[in-house]
Amino acid sequence: MMLILIVKVGIPEFLNGVGHGVETHVAKLESEIGDFQKLLVTRTLKLKKIGIPCKHRKLILKYAHKYRLGLWRPRAEPVKV
């Protein structure tokens, strides 16, 4: 039997899943973009205007594309008490 944890994915969970320092932009993206579904269809130029560095934009867009295709999901991390 396999246990699969389905995580409610928001901007923080997504960026933490991507890693590589991208999670430092959580507050900026939440205030500028709002919700996760909008982040999935955000283009490079919008991210650039917000002030996300090139390397991080590439990672966000790469993982957003994989997520849309169903090839990648942020891992469910156990909640630390």
Averaged over successive runs of 10 residues, the pLDDT of the chain (81 residues) comes to 66 94 95 94 96 97 96 75 47
pLDDT of residue 77: 65
Among 8, 2, 10, 5, smallest CA distance to 29 is for: 10
Q: Does domain 11-69 have CATH number 1.10.260?
A: no
Residue-range domain boundaries for the chain: 11-69
In angstroms, the Cα distances linking 31 to 41, 66, 73, 76, 79 are 16, 24, 23, 24, 25
